[in-house]
Amino acid sequence: MTSLRPAQEEIVNYAGGRMGISAVPGSGKTYTLSWLAARLIEQADLFDDQEVLIVTLVNSAVDNFSTRISGFLRDKGLIPNLGYRVRTLHGLAHDIVRERPDLVGLSDHFTIVDERESQEIMDAAVASWLRIHPEFITDWSAPDVDLNSSHYTQKHWIDLVDSLARSFIRQAKDLQLLPADLQRLMQDINEPHPLLQLGLEIYTDYQRSLNYRSAVDFSDLIRLALLALQSDPDYQRRLHYRWPYILEDEAQDSSSLQEQILRSLVGLDGNWVRVGDPNQAIYETFTTASPRFLRDFLREPDVAARNLPNSGRSTRSIIHLANSLIEWTNAAHPVPELRDALTRPYIQPTPPGDPQPNPPDDPNGIFIMPQGYEAEKEIESVAISLKRWLPEHSDWTVAVLTSRNERGAKIVEELKKRDIPYVELLQSSQSTRSTADILAACLRSLADPGSATKLQDVLKRLGRIAAGDDKAMVNYYRGAVALLDRCPRLEDYLAPLPDSDWLAALPSDQVADEVRQILADFRDRIVRWQKASLLPVDQLLLTISQELFTNAPDLALAHKLALLLERAAANHPEWQLIEFAEELSSVARNERKLPGFSEEDTGFDPDRYKGKVVVATLHKAKGLEWDRVYLLSANNYDFPSAQPYDNYISEKWFVRDRLNLEAEALARLKALADGDLEGVYIEDGPATRAARLEYSSERLRVLYVGITRARRELVVTWNTGRRGDSQQALPILALQSGWKGNV
């Protein structure tokens, strides 16, 4: 075993009661908590039917804890897999409900819908609601938005209503409110707000579909676990006895329901250790989690508050930069409400003689770019830097971190174009996006058969598949596209009369036989696909795919995409090919996850990919570290600071008054639950402004997470955005004076 630092030693000597631990990035909290679990199993005189319960955030952490604890127990001469249980919150909730489903009105054979099935149910509920309420989009659209001329805008609205409804349902379940409860609360309201009505009606439809399947979703599982504990005090006491020690990891991401479940299991006299870093609470936007639960716990009078302040992950300069962000936020942020977004303790380097010493310090290893790039130029600049840097650092790990999956996909495309080896940690893989992209192009062309531009677009993409790295074939396809561009009438190419065949009339001495054959084969394909366009869209997609792809992975992806469109067709019977093409394009742009084709988080080890560029979102990067990190898009759109000139991703351009509809709906839902009628009837706008503060606070923490992923070198760049009006993020501007450099 590695020796412990003094702060770690104090924690593993814990004997009982309640203890809260603030652990800085790289402080070894998993190692410390695992050691504590092993020591308790060895020394706490547990009975055979008792266990130490460890609750963590993701499945990869379950495996990590189990492996470490087993190793420590083996070193102590104990049986490695006895005396403890490691669960995610969902896993724990499942254990509680599965043991006594009768307490919450479920049969012994209840099922849990996965993400894919939950999304299918939600898609159907949203589509049904929008068909009944077409006026909703009109009423809430910005005055200058032309809804009749843009399928793209309609698709945006469907996605927004889906996201709004999902957030509403998640929050309602966190408040332990079922549709019937909301209906009862709304009886006293004369004219319910349209957003409340939307949430209630879609929630009712969604929950009815779950009940029809005798199923629950993951949010139900947590809600029902608490209900089971509250319904039967004897059951609660049995579980309290079974788990006399509860160790909670990643407590900064705890939700109200999670805290209530664990408090119920711990009881008034139980033993509870909560470990987390409030500065790394970055999931509030997507979940009902909040760092305030851990912060409040640390201030409770019967809680022993401890710190894990030492970290050997990063150089002293990178540590100083992260600490400077905390200091600036606390003391100098221009918005007082944001000054508690980050909190102490500061990160401290490891002491002399520590088994995990900090990397040798190099202040020149931090590069904060003062000038902003155009959006595409930023990606190009980073790729050029990597191309130059990688050959001399093949034994280093390196990552490019970005805020959104779509941006990550563009980075991957640039790396691939420059033959730079890469690994993806994004919402969908490059192969998925490529498959979706070419199939979307085919549907766009079939939807508009008179468009020469769309037809050429399909041929270009076919050329990339067929030619591969064959330079001669690449040139032949380019020649075919150029010839097609000069075709005066598409019908003379696709459906020629005997005396007007454009392809046959091309001079043989001016057109290579290979080019002529490419155009002939392409015409045959397009004609077959046009005839097949009368088929249901999923069958059409499979027909096209069988001609385009030959290897099993691509065909499997195409089948998955066909199922996606089949479901969309059932939910939107009015859709034409252009809408289905846009659905595929959303996958190709990495805006939508394709269920079943992203690997579950089963543990990612950056050290396995030395000499390759890992492309990840900042959220995916949490818990990981690399020798060199590129942090992109550090502008006031990705990292706003509640300034008058900031823009916010949740305030959609197509919504009137740039309202954040999710924030407006959730604020009214919480007011309804609290019996606050004034909050229910409040005018539109205040909730949007409050959400700006919450989001800006979270983005400061996301920035902190990004900085602390770097071991030895950190490169921070920013771009001026799609419209060219974005500015450097305010916190980066504040930190910049200490570090100058060039990529």
How does DSSP assign 649-666, residue by residue? TTS-TTBGGG--HHHHHH
Which pLDDT score, from 0 to 100, does residue 601 have? 43
Residue 738 — pLDDT band, cuts 50, 70, 90? low
State how far the Cα of 666 lies from the Cα of 172, in Å rounded to an integer. Answer: 9
Which pLDDT score, from 0 to 100, does residue 465 have? 81
Which pLDDT score, from 0 to 100, does residue 217 have? 94
Shared domain check, 581 and 476: yes
Which pLDDT score, from 0 to 100, does residue 656 have? 95
Whether residue 571 has pLDDT greater than 80: no
Q: How buried is 232 (Cβ within 10 angstroms: 0-12 exposed, 13-18 middle, 19+ buried)?
A: middle
State how far the Cα of 545 lies from the Cα of 554, in Å rounded to an integer. Answer: 8
Q: For residue 373, give the DSSP letter.
A: B
Shared domain check, 69 and 17: yes
Whether residue 583 has pLDDT greater than 50: yes
State how far the Cα of 347 lies from the Cα of 4, in Å rounded to an integer. Answer: 17
Q: Which of 348, 415, 314, 413 minimizes the C-alpha distance to 624?
A: 314
> Has residue 358 been placed in a domain?
no
Q: How far is CA 711 from CA 22, 356, 595, 736, in A?
A: 21, 12, 34, 19
Whether residue 308 has pLDDT greater than 90: yes
Which pLDDT score, from 0 to 100, does residue 63 have? 82
Domain boundary among 166, 194, 212: 212
Which pLDDT score, from 0 to 100, does residue 597 have? 41
Whether residue 39 has pLDDT greater than 90: yes
Work out how many domains the chain is built from and give that number: 4
Q: Which of 420, 377, 280 minimizes the C-alpha distance to 718?
A: 377
What phi and psi, each to the nearest 5 degrees, are found at residue 617? -80, 160
Query: Is 363:739 a contact under the CB 8 Å cutoff?
Result: yes
Shared domain check, 390 and 480: no
Whether residue 144 has pLDDT greater than 80: yes
Query: Is 481:455 a contact under the CB 8 Å cutoff?
Result: no
Q: What's the mean pLDDT when you consider all of the chain?
A: 91
Residue identified by tokens 């679990």 is 37
> Has residue 614 been placed in a domain?
yes
Longest dimension (CA), the chain: 96
Shared domain check, 234 and 207: no
State how far the Cα of 177 lies from the Cα of 556, in Å rounded to an integer. Answer: 40
Take residue 255 and report the two structure tokens written for it: 């939700």
437 alpha-carbon distance from chain centroid: 21
> Has residue 323 been placed in a domain?
no
> Has residue 139 been placed in a domain?
yes
> Has residue 108 been placed in a domain?
no
How many CB atoms are closer than 10 A to CB 102?
11
Q: Which residue positions form the known binding site?
A: 23-30
State how far the Cα of 533 lies from the Cα of 156, in Å rounded to an integer. Answer: 25
Which pLDDT score, from 0 to 100, does residue 151 have? 73
Take residue 249 and report the two structure tokens written for it: 């990891």
Shared domain check, 506 and 569: yes
Shared domain check, 374 and 259: no
98 alpha-carbon distance from chain centroid: 29
Mean pLDDT, residues 596-619 = 77
Whether residue 602 has pLDDT greater than 50: no
- Strand, helix or coil at 33? helix
> What is the 3-class SS of 72-113, one letter each residue?
HHHHCCCCCCCCEEEEEHHHHHHHHHHHCHHHHCCCCCCEEC
Q: Which amino acid is at 651?
A: E
Query: Is 260:240 a contact under the CB 8 Å cutoff?
Result: no
Shared domain check, 272 and 175: no
| Weakest mean pLDDT among 82-86, 384-388, 424-428, 458-462 | 424-428
Q: How buried is 186 (Cβ within 10 angstroms: 0-12 exposed, 13-18 middle, 19+ buried)?
A: middle
State how far the Cα of 82 lies from the Cα of 596, in Å rounded to an integer. Answer: 33
Give pLDDT tens digits for 586-601: 777 766 665 544 433 4
Give pLDDT tens digits for 640-685: 999 999 999 999 999 999 999 999 999 999 999 999 999 999 999 9
Q: Which of 678, 540, 665 minimizes the C-alpha distance to 171?
A: 665
355 or 430, higher pLDDT:
355
Take residue 313 and report the two structure tokens written for it: 């992950």
How does DSSP assign 610-640, residue by residue? TTSEEEEEHHHHTT--EEEEEE---BTTTS-
Query: Is 519:503 a contact under the CB 8 Å cutoff?
Result: yes
> Has residue 19 been placed in a domain?
yes
- Which residues face 398 on adjacent strands? 613, 628
State how far the Cα of 203 lies from the Cα of 389, in Å rounded to an integer. Answer: 52
**What is the extent of the structural domain holding 636?**
363-427+600-738
Query: Is 710:703 a contact under the CB 8 Å cutoff?
Result: no
How many CB atoms are closer than 10 A to CB 233?
11
What phi and psi, each to the nearest 5 degrees, are found at residue 197? -65, -45
Mean pLDDT, residues 129-147 = 93
Query: Is 397:610 a contact under the CB 8 Å cutoff?
Result: yes
Q: Which residue positions form the known binding site for ATP?
A: 23-30
% of the chain beyond a pLDDT of 90: 75
Mean pLDDT, residues 93-121 = 90
Domain boundary among 536, 554, 588: 588
Domain boundary among 162, 191, 212: 212
SS3 percent helix, strand, coil of the chain, rounded to 5, is 55, 10, 35
Shared domain check, 539 and 509: yes
Query: Is 92:239 a contact under the CB 8 Å cutoff?
Result: no
Q: What is the CATH number of the domain that holds 699?
A: 3.40.50.300
Shared domain check, 457 and 416: no
Burial 581-604 (b: 16+ CB within 10 A, else e): bbbbbbbbbbbbbbbebbeeeeeb
37 or 552, higher pLDDT:
37
State how far the Cα of 707 lies from the Cα of 320, in Å rounded to an integer. Answer: 10
Residue 188 — pLDDT band, cuts 50, 70, 90? confident
Mean pLDDT, residues 37-64 = 91
Shared domain check, 172 and 140: yes
> Has residue 583 been placed in a domain?
yes
Q: Which of 176, 202, 205, 200 minimizes the C-alpha distance to 186?
A: 200
- Strand, helix or coil at 283? coil
State how far the Cα of 543 lies from the Cα of 535, in Å rounded to an integer. Answer: 9
Query: Is 658:684 a contact under the CB 8 Å cutoff?
Result: no
675 or 150, higher pLDDT:
675
Query: Is 255:138 a contact under the CB 8 Å cutoff?
Result: no
Residue 221 — pLDDT band, cuts 50, 70, 90? very high
Which pLDDT score, from 0 to 100, does residue 727 have? 96
**CA geometry: angle at 730 spanning 729 and 731, to 5°?**
95
| Weakest mean pLDDT among 113-117, 343-347, 535-539, 645-649 | 113-117
Q: Which of 431, 432, 409, 424 minimizes the C-alpha distance to 560?
A: 432
> Has residue 1 been placed in a domain?
no
Shared domain check, 373 and 249: no
Shared domain check, 191 and 130: yes
Mean pLDDT, residues 293-322 = 96
What long-range pairs does 152-159 form, CB within 8 A, spacing at least 24? 152/582, 153/654, 154/579, 155/579, 155/582, 155/583, 155/586, 156/652, 156/654, 157/130, 157/654, 158/126, 158/127, 158/130, 159/586
Whether residue 742 has pLDDT greater than 50: no
